[in-house]
Structure 1
Amino acid sequence: MNLLFVDDNRACIETLVDIATGLGHTAAVAHDGAAGLALASRERFDRIFLDISLPDADGREICSAIRAAGPSSDARIIAMTGHTDVIEGSGVTDFDGFLLKPISLPALELFLLSD
C-alpha cells in the first residue's frame, strides 16, 4: 500500500513511517500542508495520514483540496491530532477517520488494514 504521512512533528512521522514500512508498505513524507498537497497531486496514495494543525495550513483545508481533484482524491484520509476538542463536534466529513496522538500501533494498524 502506498502511504503519505503529513505532519510537522518529525519524531512522530519518523516513527509512523518506520512502523508502516516494517509492515511492508511504502511511505512518503511531507512536513507541511503545501508539500503534502503537492505530493498528493502528483502521486496516487492509498492512505493519507494528515495532521490537522500544520504550520502553513489547516489540515481540514488540505483534505478538502486533495478530495477535489488529483490522483489521490479517492484515498482514505485519516486526520491526526493531539486535540480531542478538534475531533469532538468537528463536523468534518472529508476525513475517513481520526487518530488521536500519540498514535498507538493497534490504531495505526486498524487504518492500514481497513478498506
Structure 2
Amino acid sequence: MNVLFVDDHVACADICADIAEGMGHRTCVAYDGASALRRCSEEFFDLVLLDITLPDADGRDVCCELRGRERAQKARIIALTGHSDLKGSASMSDFDECIVKPITMQALQDLLLAQTSPV
C-alpha cells in the first residue's frame, strides 16, 4: 500500500512513516498542505493520514482539494487531530475517518492492517 503521512511535526510524520515501512508499505511524508497537494499531484496514494492543523493550511481544506483531484479520488483520507471535539463534526465530513492524536504505535499498526485486509 502507498501511504502519505502529512504532519507539521516532523518527528511524528517520520516515525509513522518508519513504522509503515517496517510493515512493508511504501511511504512518503509531507510537512505542510502545499507539499501534500504537490505529492498527490505526482503520484497515487491508497491512504493519506492528514493532520488538521498545518502551518500553511487547514487540513480540512487540503482534504477537500484532494477529493477533487483525479489522482486522490480513490484514496482513503484519515484525519489526525489533537482536537477531540472535531471527531464526528460536520466539518470533518470529507474524511473517511478521524483519529484523535496522539496515536500509539499499536493503533497505527492496527489502522494500517485494517486498510490492507480484504473486506
TM-score using structure 2 length: 0.89
Aligned to 1:92: 92
Query: Percent of aligned positions with the same letter in both sequences?
Result: 49
Which residues of 2 match residues 76-115 of structure 1 at below 5 A?
A: 76-115=76-115
2:70 is the alignment partner of 1:70: yes
Query: Larger helix proportion, structure 1 or 2?
Result: 2
Give yes or no for the alignment of 1:61 onto 2:64. Answer: no
Aligned length: 115
**Separation in 1 of the partners of 2:31 and 2:94?**
21
SS class of match (1:95): coil
Asked if 1:40 corresponds to 2:40, the answer is: yes
For 1:114, what is the secondary structure of its paired residue? helix
Q: How large is the RMSD of aligned CA atoms in angstroms?
A: 1.4
Residue in 1 that maps onto 2:20:
20
Cα contact 2:19–2:109 (8 A) shared by 1: no
Structure 1 residues 106 and 85, CA, compared in 2 at 3 Å: closer, same or farther? Answer: same
Q: TM-score by structure 1 length?
A: 0.92
Any stretches of 5+ residues in structure 1 without a counterpart?
none
Q: How far apart, in 2, do the equivalents of 1:70 and 1:35 lie?
A: 17
Give 3-state SS (helix, strand or coil) of 1:13's partner.
Answer: helix
Q: For residues 111 and 42 of structure 1, what CA distance do their matches in structure 2 show?
A: 25
